Chain A
């Protein structure tokens, strides 16, 4: 449980606060929809409502993360965002293919949704067409993934943020700022088991002290990629969900926890972790938790 000497940025997106000293704001939880197959909007609607309900109970802000795999899904998914996600609520879009990123940004701009959008993500693979689209249709917030294929240690992650590690023409933070993105979240790029997976957690305090930006990661990806856990099938889900506690414990601000279907388990786990942290950080560092904090909800 930490406190940072560096002043910590706090960003607001549609009323959700993210960042700051540990113990001040609750951990923001990002739950994903439509990872596999055709998007199932009926189930998605129920899962989204369930996540928002549980978020209200625990106090941990919920961000639905929409995975867009194919061009033909863009219109339907952005329509879903427009009509189903509450009007004052942020969301993120998670897209791998650069051409789909470009098209989705155009759709979001057309529908006037960019002010609530978190762009997931900018990384060393950023293409010119993507930069152009981001300049033209700038989202309110972006996740910068500190993945450095040359060096997966915290130092390597800082290197890509700072100077691009010779993989890009500038550091990823400067690239994002030059594109007009003012609110930046840093994702410490969780790797597969056996590939310095712990570095994504160790990097959280390092990056927060270096830059002060809200920081987190998708640590559950490490669990998801584990073959070893195949021998412990009933433990896979609890291990996946509980792996997220490492993020607030190391001072992080957000957890991209995988499928929204896990919201029922992840939210209470993280709310309890936030309470533990807050009890310490208030006593030792004088960080009074915000009114929205789980510590104010569960007692």
Chain B
């Protein structure tokens, strides 16, 4: 069941499947209480954010994400996750107003992002490192005992379509060909 609920992999620990809180840990050594549904670190503002979104919307019981610790320098992954929840993405798939270096969401469709925005409320604890403060914020969420959001949403990873199809399976790549010795040249030249 866990595999079905958390299909995208990543560095996380799944705890209570019916828990309503996911915890994103930035740059601190912290282990949340076992009542949370899932917790783990976040490093990158693109692929890392995508994995979190895909994983949390696959479990409708999760209604809160607590983002705690010190944001990742340069990547600003925590702030980018929060920006995604608040603002969504633009036509270029850039997270609107995200402060990270390369905050692009490319492997999730619009429906998955919309679902993330509706299902999840973010508790912004960026800058908070104190264990007791974080524990309390998690408890406050749990006490609210929110209802499940409905059915799990299994986000399918979008894979780019191949633009060139070739019959020549020996080719190194669509743009180059190689002779029997290893001499490479551009295809068609």
Contact = CB atoms under 8 A, between A and B. Distances in A.
A36 B22 CA distance: 27
A123 B74 CA distance: 13
A194 B104 contact: no
Contacts of A155: 163-164, 174-175
A97 B160 CA distance: 29
B39 to A, nearest CB: 16
Given A5-B186, A149-B106, A205 B73 contact: no
Contact of B92 (A70, A166, A202): A166
A149 B175 contact: no
Interface in B168-189: 172-176, 178, 181-186, 189
A3 B184 contact: yes
A151 B106 CA distance: 8
A113 interface: no
B85 interface: no
A96 B93 CA distance: 21
Given A150-B104, A167-B92, A167-B104, A5 B173 contact: no
Interface string B139-168: 000000000000000000000100110000
Given A5-B183, A96-B75, A97-B74, A205 B172 contact: yes
User: Which of under 10, 10 to 19, 20 to 34, or 35 or more describes the interface residues of B?
Assistant: 20 to 34
A33 B117 CA distance: 40
A96 B74 contact: yes
A217 interface: no
A29 B164 CA distance: 35
A147 B102 contact: yes
A289 B174 CA distance: 30
A290 to B, nearest CB: 20
B102 A1 contact: no
A123 to B, nearest CB: 7
5 contacts: A3-B183, A5-B186, A125-B102, A149-B104, A195-B47
Given A125-B100, A194-B9, A205-B176, 8 more contacts: A5-B186, A70-B73, A147-B102, A154-B173, A155-B163, A167-B92, A192-B47, A209-B184
Interface of B: 9, 11, 46-47, 73-75, 92-94, 100-102, 104, 106, 160, 163-164, 172-176, 178, 181-186, 189
Q: Which 9 A-B pairs have the closest CB atoms?
A: A96-B74, A125-B101, A5-B185, A149-B104, A125-B102, A97-B74, A151-B160, A2-B182, A150-B106
